[in-house]
Amino acid sequence: VVSERIRGDKEHVLQPFTLMSHKPNYILIGAHNTHGYDPEVYQQQFDDPSFNVDDTEAQFQISVKVPLAVNLFNMMDIYAAYTNHSFWQFYNDSSAPFRETNHEPEGWLQFNTDFEFFGFTNTANMFGIVHQSNGRGGVLSRSWNRLYANFLVERGNLAFSFKPWYRIPEDDVDDDNPDITDYLGHYELRAAYKWNEHVFSIMSRNNLESGFEKGAIELSWSFPLFDYPYLKGYVQYFTGYGESLIDYNNYVNKIGVGFAITDWL
């Protein structure tokens, strides 16, 4: 399934003015956090102790990539990508503000391989740099920069990725979230399985590293909507820390439903 995704990318990579999907593109029409979002940081920012946020909101993600070089030195491709993950208080009576938006530009070298071991194929290896921030100031400001690798393996309709990273240090004066790696850790594990037109995925982050105290689990399922070819139904469940940068150190237990345009596979 990863090989099919890479072949699809190769078919479009040489088309000018073409943006390709990177991470899943979706909208959750309704996403409810049973644990409740903490309004304290917003109350500090706006100096308004009555300021509150809804526990049910809309969320969406837009993620695209573009090739910068293809088959460079007959061994690698270079990509750049941008991911926008927005948390929209659509059902809030006070003008439906955006509670949080995370911006994630990145660039990486990609080596497509076919190394086989124990029935699995190492399909691609990536080495990149990524910046993530919420573009805000004051007590709402959050950001960090990382160097990362991403190793993809597959077997039939099952795919795994192991993504370790290293946080680039910042000056204490400029660091808005010095303890972020305590909650988001230093790696992410993901698995995805494709059955007919259904895609199931699971993500685990910082669970073993934190002794299952500050980790996160995300489950998702995209499924066909009758014979409609342009959208799929989408269900996402998240529990743990780091759903968004503003909530990196707050526990979230969320279930959301909506539509997916693209998925991992």
Which residues are marked as active site?
131, 133
Contact 254, 238 (CB under 8 A): yes
What's the CA gap between 124 and 115, in Å, rounded?
A: 9
What's the CA gap between 55 and 74, in Å, rounded?
A: 51
Q: Is the dihedral of CA 129, 84, 122, 66 positive or negative?
A: negative
What's the CA gap between 112 and 126, in Å, rounded?
A: 9
* Short-list 168, 79, 94, 99, CA closest to 132: 168
Buried-exposed string 129-145: b where 16+ CB fall within 10 A, e elsewhere? ebebbbebeeebbbbbe
What's the CA gap between 232 and 5, in Å, rounded?
A: 17
Q: What is the DSSP letter of 141?
A: -
What's the CA gap between 137 and 33, in Å, rounded?
A: 25
Three-state secondary structure call for residue 243? coil
